[in-house]
Structure 1
Amino acid sequence: MVKILFKFYSDIFDEEKVETIWAEEIDKEKGIYKIENIPFYIPFISSSDLVFAEYDKNEQSLVYKSTFEHSGNSTIQVVIVNNDYKTNDIRKVFNELNCESEKFSEGYFSMEIPFEINYKKIKTKLDELETKEIIGYAEPNLSEKHFNEI
């Protein structure tokens, strides 16, 4: 496993950001790597995407250059807006719908929607919790398949 550095503009923070992601080496000579974890803020990748990265001497790290192949997975960012609810309790709701997530901090997590899952059921639950003012959410990397299911 290797770490890849991503530099990107964040609409959430309204500034340039940096995030590192674990990846599996697929073809070192060609610089192809498979994303192994759910990004917290990166708006253009999801787990299992294949990306192109090159070593950058200034950064002393592999640095993302482009996406080679999308996995079809989607990434959703969730913010808990009602402090009566704990992040892990909300994560459990989506885990029971076969969506893994990674907690960044109390009040924020990112979630993966696997390609095989029909997004309509997940979207309905997200909208329900948002309508009840429990969460807010963003869909920074929604696959074409998932987009067409809503």
Structure 2
Amino acid sequence: MAEVKHEKILFKYYSNVLDELTVETMWSEIIDKENGIYKLDNIPFYGPIIATDDEFYAEFDESEQMLTYRKTTKFSGNSIVLVIIVQSGFDKEIIRDRFKKLNCASEGLNDSYFSVEILKDINYSEIKKLLTEYEKDGILEYAEPCLSDKHQMDLKNN
């Protein structure tokens, strides 16, 4: 039998994007199951303060009946940006393709909403410039719920 390498973890948090208590389940790599350490292997949708490759502590929650996120233990330096297309009829795949060419993976939720992963080694000021252009053109709005220290420094240095 193959060894289980991932677990689905419950994240329960207040989302500033949705302005409400939010529940999201995400796949995570098992780092140290005995001590409850996992590494996020999903791109979050609604804005928890965690990014892909961050390590965190989770434990079984009796009321939820599943493993539940408790706290981040090691930050990867990656960031997550949430994007909503506000211009009616605009194909979000055009923007997702532009991000992909900049080595930023994304996950779409529906025709107008997606989240973008910005890896630590990417200069965030370039991504921010692109987002700002689209926002000025009335095509999208975006939120930066999980902007790493490294990416915040990218903005200060430009």
| Same fold per superposition (TM over 0.5) | yes
What SS does structure 2 have at the residue aligned with 1:105?
coil
Matches within 5 A, 1:70-81: 70-81=75-86
Q: CA deviation at 1:87?
A: 1.6
Name the residue aligned to 1:35: 40
Q: CA deviation at 1:14?
A: 1.9
TM value normalised by structure 2: 0.92
Contact 1:51 1:68 in 2 (8 A): yes
SS at match of 1:112: strand
Verify the 8 A CA contact 1:19 1:42 in the aligned structure 2.
no
CA drift at 1:84: 3.0
CA-to-aligned-CA distance 1:91-145 (integer Å, 9 cap, x gap):
1111111100000111000000000101111110000000001110000000011
Contact in 2 for aligned 1:32/1:50 (Cα 8 Å): yes
Are positions 1:10 and 2:15 aligned together? Answer: yes
CA distance in 1 between partners of 2:61 and 2:15 (Å): 22
Code of the residue aligned with 2:147 in structure 1: it is L
The residue number in structure 2 matching 1:57 is 62
Amino acid at match of 2:74: E
Tell me the SS of whatever aligns to 2:150.
helix
Measured against aligned partners, the alpha-carbon deviations of 1:10-58 in whole angstroms (never above 9, x if no partner) come to 1222211100010010001110000001000133000000010001122
CA distance in 2, matches of 1:110, 1:149: 20
Other-structure match for 2:91: 86
Letter matched to residue 35 of structure 1: L
Q: Which string of whole-angstrom CA distances, capped at 9 and with x for unpartnered residues, describes residues 39-94 of structure 1?
A: 00133000000010001122111000100101000000000011231121211111
Residue of structure 2 equivalent to 1:124: 129
Contact 1:2 1:25 in 2 (8 A): yes
Q: How many residues align?
A: 150
Unaligned runs of 5+ in 2: 1-5
CA contact (8 A) 1:75 1:142 kept: yes
RMSD over aligned CA atoms reads: 0.9
Identity %: 50
Contact 1:49 1:71 in 2 (8 A): yes
Aligned to 1:107: 112
Q: State how far apart, in whole Å, the 2-side matches of 1:21 and 1:66 are.
A: 15
